[in-house]
Structure 1
Amino acid sequence: MSSDVPLLSMRGITKRFAAVEALVGVDLDVHAHEVVALVGDNGAGKSTLAKMVSGVLAPDAGFIEIAGEQVTIPTPTAARGLGIATVFQDLALCENLDVTSNLFLGRELRVGASRDDSRMEQIARQVLRDLNSRIPSVRSPLS
């Protein structure tokens, strides 16, 4: 893949909710190793755009490409299969669970019928390292 090809490209994205035009003709490119922030007033369409990338909403018009290939993202599970994960602005953590359990909540790794706790811990430790987190342990309770 050429470095000129965006990892994510959105073209002509439009979303309407009845008579309300939430997004009209939005174009967005995100390249490898690029950090992008969506900034705007309340109601500007930031969350709507994020929900389309994460498979929560479908655009009414336009298309999405991942690494140059046009894709349809009908569900959050489909988005995860494309390597897309979303962290929403509202903090919804389970205080009775540790870091690893919160990170994998609802998408626990399995080996056969059993949870793969050791693999989930390994991934959680790597995520914390990648984020330069100061959390002492992936088994630390959140409370």
Structure 2
Amino acid sequence: MELFTGWADAGLPALFAACFLAATILPFSSEALLAAMALGPWSSLALLAVASVGNTLGGLTNYGIGRWLPEGRLMRWLRVDPAKAQRWHALVRRRGAWAALLCWLPVVGDPIAIALGLFRAPWLPVAALMFLGKAARYAVVIAALRGW
């Protein structure tokens, strides 16, 4: 937790950066920093807004990777088995942008966002639903720490 106290001292911009990075394909976590800050003087609404927007923009970065990188290059770069790609395509076809509600999940959230971009789910519903899912997760974390 000591690592995150330095970040917490940097305030809301550091929270935004941490949440953005945590939502990309980079291995990073934002919950510890959010927890440290939720125990401090920051407003719950400010924490929720900054964390949710930062994490959503990071998730949309993954969406953009899927959308704009050529499919063959993306599959080789991510070492995706063609059968697994077909399952992701079926998920996007079946659930569409609604799958973005699950982008907050560890391990599968990043591939969902990439698949939504790769298989051309409409970006505006993806962004809105991704924001809702990520905001709900952060609201639960803040509420649990602040005893709501």
Q: TM-score, normalization: structure 1?
A: 0.29
Q: Larger C-alpha radius of gyration, 1 or 2?
A: 1
More strand by share: 1
Question: Bigger relative contact order, structure 1 or 2, given CA contacts below 8 A and separation 6+?
Answer: 2
